[in-house]
Amino acid sequence: MHGQETLQEQEIENSYLLFRDSLGTIISNKLIQMEGVHMCKKSKIILNSALVLFLLVSLFQIQPRVNTALAQGTNLSVYGRVTDGLGNGLAGVTVFVDPKFKVFLPVISVSSASSKSNSTSISDIQYSFSAITDAEGYYTIPDIPGGSYYLQVDLPGVTFNPEFREITAETTGSQDFDLQMTPPVITPETVVLTELSNQYLDGASYDGETFYFTQMSAELDLVDVGDIIVSDVSSVDPDGYFRKVSGISPQGSGVVFTTVPATLEESIQDGTSFLMETMQPSQVKSITALDGVSLIESDVNAPLTFYFEVEDVVLYDEDGNPATTNDQVKADGSIEFDMEFVFYLDLQGSQVRRFSLTNENALRDTLEIYAEIELLSLEEETILAEMYFSPITFMIGPVPIVFVPKLDLVVGVDGSVKVGISTEVSHVFSMKAGVQYRYSSGWSPISEISSTYTFIPPHLTFEMTLKGYFGARFNLFLYGVAGPFVKITPYLEIKVEPFETPWWTLYGGIDVPVGFKAHDVLEKLLDLEDYEVYAIGLKQVIAQAQVVDPGEMVFVPAGEFQMGCDP
C-alpha cells in the first residue's frame, strides 16, 4: 500500500514538472521570436515572463513530502482551549484545520490504470479535520496527516485572538483562541439609572420619549441636558431604554426629562458585547397567533425544538366574508425547527469595528395550500404568529445592553391559483446564515446550508406557476427598537406547461434575506446604514415529467398544493 501511495505522489510530481517544463519551453520560443527587438523592451518582456513563471511555480509547487498533506510521516494532533475573553470556556464551538497549500490549477489526472486501484484523487489530497469544544472550551483534533495547516474557530462574524494559527509537525503546546473583548470605556455623559430611580418613573405618562419621575434620586441629580440615560428592564419599560436628554423640567418633588434617540457610539467609546444563545419555547414571554395556529408543547427529549401546527388558516378571502368559504385560499401544515444565534459587537474609538448576527437552524416543514378560487395572480404573506422572548441583558462596563429577541412565523403564496394540484415534498435542511459589518469593508452576508428532498409526483391540469412557503423571521432588537434580522423561507415551486416537455417541473429552494433595520429611521441605536441582502438564494429542480401524458391530468375546479411531510 505504501508503495502505491509513493507511486501516486511521483505521478503528481511528474505532472507538475511536465507543466513547468512546458511553460519554460513556451517562454524560450517567445524569446527566439524576439530577435531584433529593442534591448530595453526585450529586457522588460524577459523580466515579465520570468515573473509569471516564478508566480506559477510558487503557486503550484509541490512541497517536500514531510511538509504536505501527502506526507507519510507521523500524523499531527492539536489541542487547546477557546475562551470568551473573560477566561470562561466556550462550549459547543467548532475548531477546524484547513490545508495551507491547496492545488487549484493545473488539473492533474492520473492514468486509468492507477485509478482502478485504491488511488487518491485530487479532492482527497485536501484534508479538513475538526472538533467541537467541551463544556469547558477544550478541544482535541487527532490523526491529522502530516503537513502545513491553518487552524481556526468556526464562528463567522466574530473576532478571535489570534484569528488563525499555523500548525505543522513541529507545532507543540496548547493552541488557544480568545474572543476579542475590548476593555470598556464609557463616556462621562452616560448616566445609568437603576431601580433606585425607576421606582419613581410614572408609568401612566410614559411613552418612551418623556420621562416623568415623581421623586428625585441621587442618580437623577447627575443628569444634565445632553446626557444619555440608560436602564435595564423595569416594570415600566420591559425592554429597557437608551435615550439622550434634550430638556429638563422640575415638576413638584420630581423631574421631567424630554428625550431624543441616541446611539451606542455616543455612550460607549470602547467595549464588546457577545452572546451565544439557544432559544427555547420556555423563553417565550408572549405570543400572538391567528386562529388555527398552535405552538405544541416540546417533547421532553427535544426541549429546544419549536413545533407549530397550522390548520385551515385563511391566506386570502375574495369577498372578505369568513362565512363564504368558496372564495378562499387556505393553508395547512406544520413546521419544526431549532434556533441558535451568535451576536457580536465590538466598539473601538466610538466606532463600530465589527458587528454580526448569525443564526444556526435545523428545520423541517409540511405545507398544503388549498384553493377554492381561480386567480391569475396571487401574492400573499400572512404572519401566523408573533413571539417575544424574555429580554437578555449584557453589561459593557456599567452600561446594560438589552437584547429583545422576536420571532415571526409566516406563510405565503406567490403565483397563479387556477387548477387542481396535489403533490408532496419532504424538505429537511440545516443552515447557518446571518449578517456582519466590518469597519474596513462594510456589510456582508454569512451563509452555509445543506438540504435534502424527497417527493411524490404531482397530479396537475392547466398551465400555471405557484410558489408556497413557510418562513421564520428572527429579529434581535436592541432595547426593542433596532437590530439585525434573519428570515428563513424554504419553499416549493411548481411550474406546469401541459404541451411542453417536460410538462411539469417541481422546484425546491430556500431564500434567506438578512440585514439590519430600525422600527423608526431615527432610532437606529448604531450609526450604521440599513442593510438587506439575500445571504442564501437556493433553487433546484427536484423532479420533472419526461413526456406529455394527458392521461395523468385531472380536471377539477379546485384543489391543493402541498409541500413537505410530517416529521
Position 454 scores a pLDDT of 57
pLDDT digits (tens, 9 = 90+) for 284-337: 999 999 888 998 877 767 766 899 988 888 877 888 888 887 777 778 888 888
CA distance to 13, 93, 371, 382, 413, per residue, from 379 (Å): 59, 40, 13, 10, 6
Using an 8 Å Cβ cutoff, are 390 and 406 in contact? no
Instruction: Name residues of the chain where pLDDT drops below 50.
Output: 1-9, 12, 23, 26-27, 30-47, 50-72, 103-127, 419-422, 460-461, 548-567
* Residue-wise pLDDT tens digits, 115-155: 333 333 333 334 468 999 999 999 999 988 888 999 999 99
H-helix or E-strand containing 267?
helix 264-267
pLDDT of residue 13: 52
The DSSP secondary structure of 208-245, one letter per residue, reads SSEEEESS--TTGGG--TT-EEEE---SS-TT-EEEEE
**How much is the mean pLDDT over the chain?**
77
If phi > 0 it is left, if psi is from -120 to 50 it is alpha, else beta; for residue 174 that is: beta
State the first-to-last Cα distance of the chain, in angstroms, to the nearest integer.
46
Specify the amino acid at residue 51: L
Q: Show the cell assigned to 210.
A: 418623556
Task: For the beta carbon of residue 349, count every other beta carbon within 10 angstroms.
Answer: 11
- Give the integer Cα–Cα distance in Å for 231 and 191: 9
| Residue owning grid cell 386562529 | 291
What is the pLDDT at residue 376?
Answer: 60
* Amino acid 69: pLDDT: 39
Q: Measure the CA–CA gap between 286 and 281, rounded to whole angstroms.
A: 11
Cβ partners under 8 Å of residue 486, min gap 6: 357, 359, 433, 434, 435, 473, 474, 512, 513, 514, 535
Residues in contact with 52: Cβ distance below 8 Å, sequence separation at least 6, in sequence order: none
pLDDT at 463: 56
CB atoms within 10 A of CB 367: 25
